[in-house]
Amino acid sequence: MTNPVMEAIEKRRSIIRFETTPVEEETIQTILEAGRWAPSWLNKQPWRFIVVTDQATRENLSEIAPTIYRLGVREAPVCIVISVDPNEDPYHFAEDGAAATQNMALAAYSLGLGSCWIGTFRFEEEKESSEAKIKKVLGIPKAHRVISLLPIGIPKYFEGKNRKPLSQLVYRNEFGKAK
């Protein structure tokens, strides 16, 4: 069965190179709305979104991002940083932030843009981690956790990928049992 949601899920890809063409504010707002409407435990909505359009700040973030993603963070005209407050949702804050990230990535694709989910979250906080450095650059409160960076823009290229067949991924009634 095909519908617009399944099409976006199946065709969205991680884009690591972007055109520098600006993204309209209305488009950014639509993407942020998608994040706002993500599911969260008990509807706590512990996320905060930092929209980074300043070139110098994106360059600072690009130096923190893992090597393969650096150029994309620098090139993309917009980078949304998703943080969560574990005090608002101490049990599922990581999943909540992940759901918001996924919603925004799908929304970006549906609007003709590319994105790349760059995970920064690790359960153990470290002083010199990428998460700590991102918090410092953006002034994110110590109690918050940074879940992801999401650079967004017009893709320089688009490459399709295949997925494993469901027969390799799905079991019935117990692990390892195909039927």
**Burial bucket for residue 15 (CB in 10 Å: 0-12, 13-18, 19+):** buried
Q: Which two tokens stand for residue 71?
A: 């150029």
Assess if residue 45 is contained within a domain: yes
What CATH number does residue 139 fall under?
Answer: 3.40.109.10
The single-letter code of the amino acid at 97 is G
Q: What is the pLDDT of residue 158?
A: 76
Residue 170 CA to residue 165 CA, distance in Å, equals: 9
Assess if residue 177 is contained within a domain: no
**Tens place of pLDDT for every residue, the chain, 179 residues?**
789 989 898 889 999 999 999 999 999 999 999 999 999 999 999 999 999 999 999 999 999 987 789 999 999 999 999 999 999 999 999 999 999 999 999 999 999 999 999 988 776 667 788 999 999 999 999 999 999 999 999 999 877 778 899 889 999 899 988 77
Name every residue whose Cβ is closer than 8 Å to that of residue 174 and which is 6 or more positions away in sequence. Answer: none
Assess if residue 173 is contained within a domain: no
Q: Which domain holds residue 108?
A: 4-168
Q: What is the pTM of this model?
A: 0.92
Residue 100 CA to residue 68 CA, distance in Å, equals: 23
Assess if residue 178 is contained within a domain: no
DSSP character at residue 67: G
The single-letter code of the amino acid at 82 is I
Q: Which two tokens stand for residue 49?
A: 């979104």
Assess if residue 97 is contained within a domain: yes
Q: Strand, coil or helix: what is 164?
A: coil
Assess if residue 174 is contained within a domain: no
Assess if residue 37 is contained within a domain: yes
Q: How many independent structural domains does the chain possess?
A: 1
Assess if residue 175 is contained within a domain: no
